[in-house]
Amino acid sequence: MLSTLLFSKVPEIVPLSWLKSHLHDSSLVLIDVRSAEEYKKGHLQNAVNIPVFDKLFYGETMLIPPLSNLKKIFSEAGIDDKSQIVVYCGKNPIWSARFYWISKVLGADDVGILKVNYGNWEKGTFRVSTKHFHAKYRDFTPKINNNILKTKLDVLTSMKNSYIIDGRPNAFYIGEKSHAKRAGHIPKALNIPGNLNYNLHGTKRSIKDFQHLAKIYEHLNVKKPIILYCEDGADAAMNFLVLKKLGYNASVYDGSWLEWGNSNLPIEKGEVGVK
């Protein structure tokens, strides 16, 4: 029997109680973004494995994959315009957030990420399987939302009237570390690391409640556009999810630092602009 809550929109941050109540909804699609090896050791029953590093990044600058790739990935995962998507991760929710943001770019809006990482619940709460789950193929039709996908040109032309937020750890922001040829940050960028959005308890991760998350961003003018970036787009996606829920006009610079730091575009170093 279908859940009476079948048409309840998926929360951006999905509580365990919501997932448990909707597990048998015909519209529910579970996505596991961990590696294939982790997935084989155990996953939520009927979860589709879409390893984030194999499927959701593309090329040396880790850009969003080509549309043809994504259409195939989503269709084979059993996603269509009626799907309600819940994504979960392993150690870090930024990888779930990467899938969330890509879903939003593609127009799959009814999507949320699990509040806790895989296994961070009482034993017996959910059925676990070690068998690979093959979803029924559904024809996914992308409806691209360019308003939340930005390029380096967008960043350059928006510096005067938008916030630029760097979601990397502070050591990367000030220029002590970098995975690109150059170190530092985009001029005038503020530093709000993506890891501020979740709690760390050993191997357990849980996304903070929104009343606590609101305090992280309360110094930002809600009417001013925000462009987010990080090293590869994942921490930026985590910030994006939270900011959109809080009512901000946020978007993600897809190339992030791996593009900007390997170019001749202007950079800054040090603590300038840190909030």
Instruction: Give tens-digit pLDDT for 15-44.
Output: 999 999 999 999 999 999 999 999 999 999
Q: What is the mean pLDDT of the chain?
A: 93
Find out whether 58 and 69 touch, Cβ atoms under 8 Å: yes
Rounded to an integer, the average pLDDT of 192-197 is 96
Dump pLDDT digits (tens) for 109-153.
999 999 999 999 999 999 999 999 999 999 999 999 999 999 999
Is domain 13-129 in CATH 3.40.250.10, yes or no?
Answer: yes
In tens, the pLDDT along 39-66 reads 999 999 999 999 999 999 998 889 999 9
Pairs from 153-157 (Cβ < 8 Å, separation ≥ 24): 154/227, 154/251, 154/253, 155/186, 155/227, 155/229, 155/253, 155/260, 156/265
Domain with CATH 3.40.250.10 in the chain: 13-129, 146-260
Asked if the model's pLDDT at residue 93 lies above 70, the reply is yes
165-180 pLDDT, tens digit each: 999 999 999 999 999 9
Query: Could you say which architecture CATH assigns to the domain 146-260?
Result: 3-Layer(aba) Sandwich (3.40)
